[in-house]
Homo-oligomer: A and B are copies of this chain.
Amino acid sequence: MQKVAPQSEATERAVLTHVMLDLYGVDFKTLNDPEQISDILTGAASVANLHPLADPAVYRYPGQGLTVFLPIRESHFAIHTYPEHGYASVDIVSCALAERAGRARDFMIERLGADRFDSEVVFRGFLEDES
């Protein structure tokens, strides 16, 4: 697991911290429950001191599966769930300190109760010196 640590020189220069989190072995019912998934997203924003701009937008798929999007002042959270595979893909994108995205990620891992997960952090948006 890549650490989302206190700011390094590289992260200080990036506009966005993007955490990609892929979780496996998650309970079917959890992944197919719009309220529970929405609560986990807003809970993750809260523990990370990130600020929702609206209620989570929920999209349901025929049979099973959800997409839930949470716009935040600092960018967004998104999740796609595949209950039939126990799989969920999560994006945490934030212009706040990288460490906050890490807190959101840790909360989601714990609350989704995955058997295993992959986590990757990408720093995005390197503006040229405008001075």
**Contact surface of A with B, Cβ cutoff 8 Å:** 15-16, 18, 20, 22, 24, 53-54, 57, 59, 61, 67, 69, 71, 73, 75-76, 78, 80, 82, 85, 87, 89, 91, 93, 118, 120, 122, 124-125, 127-128, 130
Contacts and interface: CB of A to CB of B under 8 A. Distances in A.
B76 A78 contact: yes
B71 A127 contact: no
Contacts of A124: 20, 22, 89, 118
8 contacts: A15-B82, A20-B122, A24-B128, A75-B89, A78-B91, A89-B124, A91-B93, A118-B124
Contact of A93 (B71, B73, B80): B80
B69 A57 contact: yes
Contact of A71 (B54, B59, B85, B125): B59
A92 to B, nearest CB: 12
- Report how many copies the assembly holds: 2
Interface secondary structure of A, over-half rule: strand
A21 to B, nearest CB: 9
A47 to B, nearest CB: 21
The list of the 7 closest CB pairs from A to B, nearest first, reads: A59-B71, A69-B69, A22-B124, A53-B59, A85-B127, A67-B71, A75-B80
Given A57-B57, A59-B53, A91 B91 contact: yes
